[in-house]
Structure 1
Amino acid sequence: MELPPTPPMSLRERKKAQTRRTIQEEALRLFLSQGYEATTVEQIATAAGVSSMTFFRYFPTKESVVESDDYDPLIVRLIEQRPTEEDPLTALHRALGEGLAVVYATEREALLVRTRLILRTPALRARLWENQHSTERLLADALAARLDTEPTLSVRVIAAAALAALTTALTLWVDSDGSTDLPALVDQAFLTLLGQ
């Protein structure tokens, strides 16, 4: 499965994306080897071959190096591309399924590490609600945009329920240490929401 088309990046944008990816990869490697709390921004910057100042240009905090990803814009694009005749929950289910298939195929281990860190590190877990609230708003706005309307209460409830289903599936996946199939767990969670 391929990502929806995006505009081509300039050389400068590609270099910036590579630097960002390198910082995040080195951070995850260090968090795994020596623990989140024991790892400093300076250590991450050194491992990535950048200065601390460069680190902070890409990530405002140490927490953000774990929390930051490109998944929300991908999901928003996929939701907006769903047929308007699909009900909102089905559109979310299919868009999340498409996006997850891409992420799971290319970044499965990084997703597992990041999700495990977020769920098991108190400093990161404390920020989870704030991040989920932002994602919920993005999902509701994307659902409303595909119907050219404002996000109603029902659309926001559907977005919140879908996000809860996704979070529950991610938690079970982490609890299994990645041995279960995440896309199948997400499908099961959505089928539960759909009453099937």
Structure 2
Amino acid sequence: MIAGDSRRERKKAQTRAAIQEAALELFVSQGYRETTIAQIAARADVATRTVTLHFPAKEDLLFADDPFAPESLARCLHERKSDTFAVLRDWMHTTMRALDASDLEQEPDPAQLWRRRALRAQLLMEDDDLRGRARAGYRDLELLVAKGIGSDIGLPADALIPRLAAVTVVAGLREIYVTREGRAKAQSAASELSGLVDQVLAFAEAGVRNAGM
């Protein structure tokens, strides 16, 4: 990539991040449904069309660009040399460290990123439609985790234990942001949340082990 292309991509990413930041601030202060695209554009100091070019649907402002994407986990599971829980642990920690590092380019305090994610989680929990959309979006992750755990213990992905473990993992990771511990630790960098990730995975792993698998 030539220097001009690199600058354009950087500028595009900065604009996209500024729009999402403005949207989140407004969603939190006045409500998701009450916030208009025009208000978001004004807060981000861009044209309304710029917002819709980056985010064609309003809900995309909350769901686009999730770094914990199924495609990313699928690659790690495909290349794995250890069990699914170990892959999950490494994937989560690696992604969180990368987020801290990339956020430093835009924001000198990496804790800002995790505060934003905590606010996003709060918004999703408070709105039935958004919560349903989020739940549907996590299905691909659940299926990947169930398939991996099932392979580890010699059961099909749709057997009860792999499915229970997968739902526990994905729901637990999602709930971190809205727990008392998660809200407190979201004032810091990703490293502070890593221990909660380990607790979720250990809880699910113990469930599989205690089931005799």
The TM-score, its normalising length taken from structure 1, stands at 0.73
1:189 aligns with 2:194: no
Partner of 2:153: none
CA distance in 2, matches of 1:160, 1:131: 18
1:173 aligns with 2:177: yes
Distance 1:166 1:22, change over 3 A: same
Q: Partner letter of residue 174 of structure 2?
A: L
Cα–Cα, structure 1 residues 83 and 25, in superposed 2: closer, same or farther, change >3 Å?
same
Compare 94-103 and 69-78 and name the one that shifted more: 69-78
User: What residue ranges of structure 2 are gaps of 5+ in the alignment?
Assistant: 102-109, 149-155, 186-191
**Equivalences for 1:1-196 in 2 at 5 Å?**
10-72=6-68, 76=72, 80=76, 84-103=80-99, 106=110, 107-136=113-142, 153=157, 161-162=165-166, 164-176=168-180, 178-180=183-185, 182-195=193-206
CA distance in 2, matches of 1:26, 1:168: 28
- 8 Å contact kept, 1:67–1:114: no
- Is residue 116–residue 174 contact of structure 1 (8 Å, CA) maintained in 2? yes
1:109-155 C-alpha deviation (Å, 9 max, x unpaired):
111111111121222112112211244467689x7xxxxxxxx737x
CA distance 1:20–1:164, shift in 2 (3 Å): farther
- After TM superposition, the structure 1 stretch with the greater mean CA deviation from structure 2, 21-30 or 78-87, is 78-87
Question: CA separation in 2, counterparts of 1:70 and 1:46?
Answer: 24
CA positional deviation for 1:84: 3.4
Whole-Å separation in 2 of the counterparts to 1:192 and 1:122: 27
Q: Structure 1: give runs of 5+ residues left out of the alignment.
A: 1-7, 144-151
1:84-125 Cα shifts (integer Å, max 9, x gaps): 331122111221122234446831111111111112122211
The size of the alignment, in residue pairs, is: 179
- Is 87-96 or 171-180 further displaced after alignment? 171-180
Q: Quickly say closer, same or farther: Cα 1:11–1:49, change in 2 above 3 A.
A: same
Q: C-alpha offsets along residues 58-96 of structure 1, whole Å, 9 cap, x if unaligned?
A: 112111101122413598179639973311221112211
1:136-183 deviations in Å (ceiling 9; x for gaps): 467689x7xxxxxxxx737xx859844642432432531327115532
